[in-house]
Structure 1
Amino acid sequence: MTLEETIIGLARETKGAARQVANLSTTVKNRVLLAMAAALLERKDYIQAQNELDLAAGREKGLSAAMLDRLALSDKVIEAMVTGLREVAALPDPVGEISELQRRPSGIMVGRMRIPLGVIGMIYESRPNVTVDAAALCLKAGNAVVLRGGSEALHSNLALAQVLRDCLAAEQLDPAAIQVIPVTDREAVTCMLRLEEQIDLIIPRGGEGLIRFVSENSRIPVLKHYKGVCHVFVDAGADLGMAGDIVINGKTQRPGVCNALETLLVHRDAAAEFLPAVGARLALAGVEIRGCPQTLALMPMAVPAGPDDWGMEFLDLILAVKVVADIDEALTHIARYGSQHTEAIITNNHAHAQRFLREVDSSSVMVNASTRFSDGGQYGLGAEIGISTTKLHAYGPMGLRELTTRKFIVYGEGQIRV
């Protein structure tokens, strides 16, 4: 059997299982999710033994300590996956929800019912815990899922999926509702992206290169974000102590994530007081400042920003800093260099706050809060399957509801159209 035939056969099996999953009751879905949580703990030794095969191969290939850390399924990581499964089981089930029911002049009742999307294709890198997170969310939302993780985590992903599939089988459910593509050949991804008859939506998670490859080669709709170039604008008259705390948190708490702060914009009337103070705190945290000429005059430790630093996702302890004349210049800068991920304003001016919320075209827009809050868990969505900076059909962090769509439903009493 060729690679293409293998991928097509696997996707067809998943498509067949999707109908059964779509019609599961909330009770059954929750029972399976809780059984999966218990099974991860019961079969931890098996999972970690398979994970060690990946870690050994990674060490042999010279993967960095950071990459190996992301790959490792430690006791703590497995406990986190177990907690995640239990949390998804506790979330309200969106499937079957009816809304907007209204009677039309003809007498018919028209409403909308929330339904699963069908088959989700997940393409992701490195972290094998995504296998469990994605499978759990897809199952609760009534979807089947085809998972294609990174080649460095193949044994781990297959082991995790097997534990989850065994729980489905124990409930007399089709294990094909959760599939992991069992090969590392990159051509498998290309094959997967051509299966528009079997897969309804592709969600890529990883670096910009992976996401652009998926977007450029997929025949299937793709929910994606290329990068997170997140800005904070410190307005004139802002609480500068609060602004400093938000900047430090946004840049230094986890600099390698997509909701970390990458560019700081400061109103010129606040710059002389704010930049030296926040600069000292950033320097203590080991942050390199790349600034405009006005910034260089106020922050001696800064180096000149190059043209490519505006709009750059550093994913590191590097921060671009620019002094702007007013909110208009800040909005123009964000419109040019932002990535529609997350933008924040620090201000005591209500009119400026409302204007920023209205005018910034981003999936998350914040007033007086850290960009690090741009996260499904922090927003109350439960677990998160990804972040979308496209607008069809989801915008921002994606949870259970974003893994569903709505269809029209009609109740009649014999009406015919005249």
Structure 2
Amino acid sequence: MVFRKYKPVSQWGKQDTRIFKAILNARNARKMPVFRIPDAVKALGVKVHDPTSPGFFDSESVRQIEKEHHSFAQNDITLHPLYIDTPCRLFEGGEPMSDGVDQACVISKAVLRTEFPEEVMKNSLDEIDADKIRDAILHGERYDPTLEKLPRRFDPVLFWVKHPRVHGTPVIKRGNIILDNLFRHIILTAIGREKIKATQIKLNRDEPFSATINSAPCFTQSPLVIRGQPHLTSLSAAQSKPWATKDEVDATSNESIASIAPLSPLIDFSSDHIYNKDSVVARPTESSLSLHSLAWTREQSQKYPWTTEQNAANAVLYTFGAAVAEARRRGEKSLSTSPVVSRGVQLVDGRLDLVAVQLNTLDLSENEQKKNIVWLQKGLRLYKPKPYFEQMEEVADLNVDAVRKLSALFLS
């Protein structure tokens, strides 16, 4: 929903300018009375300093205030409860990957698959009600009554034009509402057709996650920390079955990962000292649950929008971090017998990035022959959104096939 607040257009002329200039000159001509110390203050014996004196800011009283007052305190990063002396490389999804998906595969030591396995696609919902999907989208795009101040519109052609600010639902909140409705529709339909049980899936909202990778060749001295706060975190009562068989995993030893030379894979990471050594996942005390999937929304920058490759790379690294967090939670030794499979769903500008990562090893060095596997469906058009400053009356270019692939990913 987009709403423009009423603001009357004011007339401004030469006569108004003269009047206001005269008022301003008269106000500036007034003389303030000289400050005199009240008798009550003198009776208390309080020492009053004159701030207009030349040595006022060099006096000991002012220096003492600067030492004690919190406004003058220097922020010490070492006092943070999560501070660790060892520096780390940090990924929070704020910077785009320069070389896209290939760079994400190099970081995660993964081979890329562009199609989901046939066994996975068999789990998709055959009959999807298009009208319910349209209602789910319009719930976020039109019916939500949130009225927040939206960013100012930027026109790349007429960049000097100052557009009026509008109020409505922020883009990220719209996307999160749409994801909520899509997942609810898929889960309820799957329960009705007895594909899953009602107690099998647990959903958490806006839960943070964090994962740490210490491995050669890039992250021995400075570990990699992947952290974020997805809108939906799905937990499963049973561990996910591997998408790739043992023979397919062994066959990855003969496959090569795409090269991004001469770029360094670490070029887009920031440096920090604050991170969690242990994995941060939703419901950490419930050991019977395992991390199943993440879902979140990204908002495109008006001046510097990301490409489809950069959006997909962001989804791959987030999903890889979720798989690492789950592997740390289970124990690294379990990867040889039961690899970790994690799923990620990213909604950007009406397009879905569907990712599945099978974590076969946490050893990212060349000594380990096995590689991780990434299945990626990038930039699937779900619907065609309007600019955030316009009102959507109906859903245009709805793609039900994207919802089928989403259901196959989630129900696998």
Instruction: Indicate the TM-score class for this superposition, using the shorter chain for normalisation.
Output: under 0.3
Q: Which has the higher helix share?
A: 1
The structure with higher relative contact order (CA 8 Å, sep 6+) is 2
| Larger radius of gyration between Structure 1 and Structure 2 | 2
TM-score normalised by the chain length of structure 1: 0.24
